[in-house]
Structure 1
Amino acid sequence: MATAPVIRLGAAVSAAVAVPAVALGAAVKGWPGAYAALLGIGVVVAFFSISKIAVGFVGRRAPHLLLPAALGTYLVKIALLGVLLVSLSGVEAIHLLTLAWTVFAGVFGWIGAEMWVATHTRVPFFDPAAFASRHPAPADPGASARGAAGPGAGR
């Protein structure tokens, strides 16, 4: 899947999610709610963008390492999220429940953007060169019916 369209659309959807999230966070919990919503959207954009860029980089240079790259970025993201949440525990300036709900909404928005890009771009989900080398082009189906003499034989 193309990296740039996913990041652009994901960022746009995240901005669309951020506007009501920040407004709602500010209305319900004041500045801690607004800060939490901004941080939540920032986490979503950073985490999805970094993993897309990293996996795309590996995919272009060493496609056989895509699975380790994807799992490695996932492991790093989860560890960083855990560190972030532990470090924010007890911080009065960030409302953690607002942060959690904003991340939740942002993740679903970003996944929706990825699905839209995947279904609206013409990018093969297989390696055409590898497929062609394993499966030669089918023979002309009419060649066996015409026989060795060719199309004008038998007249």
Structure 2
Amino acid sequence: MTSADTSREIPWDLSFLRVGTAVTAALTAVAAPLAGVLGGWDDALAVLVGAAVVTSFFAVSGVVIAWAGRYGEAFTLPAALGSFLVKVLVLATVLQALPADGWADRRTLAWTVIAGALLWSGVQQRWVWTRRLYYVQPPAPPT
């Protein structure tokens, strides 16, 4: 069995998406009302939008990288970099399209995206540190 055959049999684990989404939802449930009370409801809406943007960006990256990994390990880095470039361009376009005095506070949205990206990075780090990840596929158990 070649490494390409093995990589197709091993599913990519995307369970960090469930954990990251749960942590983001819990923090957003606290941060959005707090931002609404302290800064106004446009800040609360910006927190909600920022959390949704970060969650969707990490989900898209995870799915794209897992999809590329099914076809070969060598495709994962180009897939990650390509999806990152597309997401940055989309985010920049969306932020530029928002009016300065629009329905969501751009500064709060930007800080929420930064905080969310750091949060998701921490979730992914913990997920990797607590998983058994093998450099090579372990042998099958004896039958």
If the TM-score is normalised by the length of the shorter chain, which range does it land in? Answer: 0.7 to 0.9
- Residue 19 of structure 1 and its aligned partner are, at CA, apart by 1.9
Could you report, residue by residue, the CA deviation over 1:85-114 in whole angstroms, capped at 9, with x for unpaired residues?
A: 011133521011111121122111111110
Which structure has the larger Rg over C-alpha atoms?
1
Distance between the aligned counterparts of 1:54 and 1:88, measured in 2? Answer: 28
1:6 to 13, 16, 26: 16
Aligned equivalents of 2:38, 2:91: Cα separation in 1: 24
Q: CA RMSD in A?
A: 1.9
| TM-score, normalization by structure 2 | 0.81
After alignment, is 98-107 or 42-51 more displaced? 98-107
Pairs aligned (count): 128
8 Å CA contact 2:100, 2:106 repeated in 1: no
Contact 1:43 1:103 in 2 (8 A): yes
| Off by >4 Å, runs of 4+ in structure 1 | none
- Spell out the pairing of 1:5-84 with structure 2 (5 A cutoff): 5-84=15-94
Q: TM-score, normalised by structure 1?
A: 0.75
Unaligned runs of 5+ in 1: 130-155
CA distance in 2, matches of 1:110, 1:2: 18
Q: Give unmatched runs, 5+ long, in structure 2.
A: 1-10, 138-143
